[in-house]
Amino acid sequence: MLDKVQKITDADFEKEVSKSAVPVLVDFWAEWCGPCRIVGPILDQLAPAYRGRLKIAKLNVDENQDAPTRFGVMNIPTMIVFKNGKEAERIVGAMSKSELEAKLDRVLKG
C-alpha cells in the first residue's frame, strides 16, 4: 500500500498520519476542484518513487472536515508534509512534478 496514494479520513488521520513511522504528505482536495485534479496524477506518479521514505495520502475536504479545520486549510489543493506527526511543510496550489519533487526532497533531507 505504501507505493500508492492512500485515501484517508478524519477517523484514521491519527493512525495514518500522526503516528506514521515515515513522513506523510496529505493532499487536502475535493472532487470539484480543478487544480486538485491536476495534482492527483502527479501524486500517483510520485508515490512509487518515494516508497519507504514518504507516504502520500489524500483527504477529501467535503467528506472530512475535522482535519482541514484543525490544520487551517483555507484553500485547496493544500498539501501538508507531516514528520513525526508535526507539520514540516505546507504547499498551497498546484505545481509541476519537478517543483513538487524538489520541495519533497528538501523536506525529507531536513
Residue 74 annotated to the active site? no
Residue 33 among the catalytic residues: yes
- Are the C-beta atoms of residues 27 and 47 closer than 8 Å to each other? no
- Give the active site residue among 24, 33, 54, 94: 33
Half-sphere exposure of 88 (CA within 13 A, CB side): 21
Which among 36, 46, 56, 100 is annotated as catalytic?
Answer: 36
CB 91 within 8 A of CB 61: no
Q: Could you give the residue numbers annotated as active site? A: 33, 36
